[in-house]
Amino acid sequence: MTKPKETKCKVCGCYFVKTISSMQKVCSPKCAIALSKEQARKKREKQEKAQLKERKKKLLENDRGHWLKALQKEVNKFIRLRDKGQPCIACGAVWKPSFQASHFIPQGRSSFLRFDERNIHSGCIRCNLFVGGGNIHGYRPRLVEKIGEQEVQWLEENQHRIKKWEISELKELIKVYRAKIKELEE
């Protein structure tokens, strides 16, 4: 006679012979209760996680700051591609892949100009982050050379202008810039 096949209990790990059904996963009623409790807990956890994710998504959807940042990311990426190979706008250093999108009028000063392509050019990390004021004294003359005195003056005249960007507008521009990036990447 062959020995009856033994199965390992999912809960306590002991070996048992199936007596109830071929689907039996546990050795005893006690372990069956423990198993169903564990399954219920896992299900609850999964539901809670899904709800949290949904709530976060809704919160982000209505968070203007989130969309402002998201658009800036796309615009900056576009600027880096547009200016690829060009020297630093502020000091003239030879182009490097680490160059960043650098604002002439800082984005914190003018919400109106923060996504304006005339106001953002590729520059070295040193000028963008470490030289006081984004190395503005080096930036201005090179910007004049690039876009003309008139445009630079226009930027300066509008440097304190405020614009309240609507979320719908930001989303629309994200699409526009993603398309522009795609075009340059091809």
Q: Looking only at residues 11 through 50 of this chain, which bind Zn ion when binding is defined by CB under 5 A?
A: 11-12, 26-27, 31
- CA 41/CA 25 separation, integer angstroms: 18
Token pair for 30: 């006690």
Q: Is 93 in the site for Zn ion (CB under 5 A)?
A: yes
User: C-beta of 123: minimal distance to Zn ion in Å?
Assistant: 5
Token pair for 62: 């209505």
User: C-beta of 32: minimal distance to Zn ion in Å?
Assistant: 8
- CA 124/CA 130 separation, integer angstroms: 10
Identified binder of Zn ion from the candidate list 79, 88, 105, 143, rule CB under 5 A = 88
Kindly state the DSSP code that residue 2 receives in the 8-state scheme.
Answer: P
| The residue to which tokens 């650098």 are assigned | 102
- Nearest Cα neighbor of 75 from 175, 185, 186 is 175
User: C-beta of 151: minimal distance to Zn ion in Å?
Assistant: 21
Nearer CB in complex with Zn ion: 76/177: 76
- CA 153/CA 150 separation, integer angstroms: 5
User: C-beta of 127: minimal distance to Zn ion in Å?
Assistant: 3
- CA 45/CA 59 separation, integer angstroms: 21
Identified binder of Zn ion from the candidate list 101, 113, 127, 152, rule CB under 5 A = 127
How many residues make contact with Zn ion (CB under 5 A)?
Answer: 12
Nearer CB in complex with Zn ion: 8/53: 8
Give the interface with Zn ion as residue ranges (CB under 5 A): 9, 11-12, 26-27, 31, 88, 90-91, 93, 124, 127
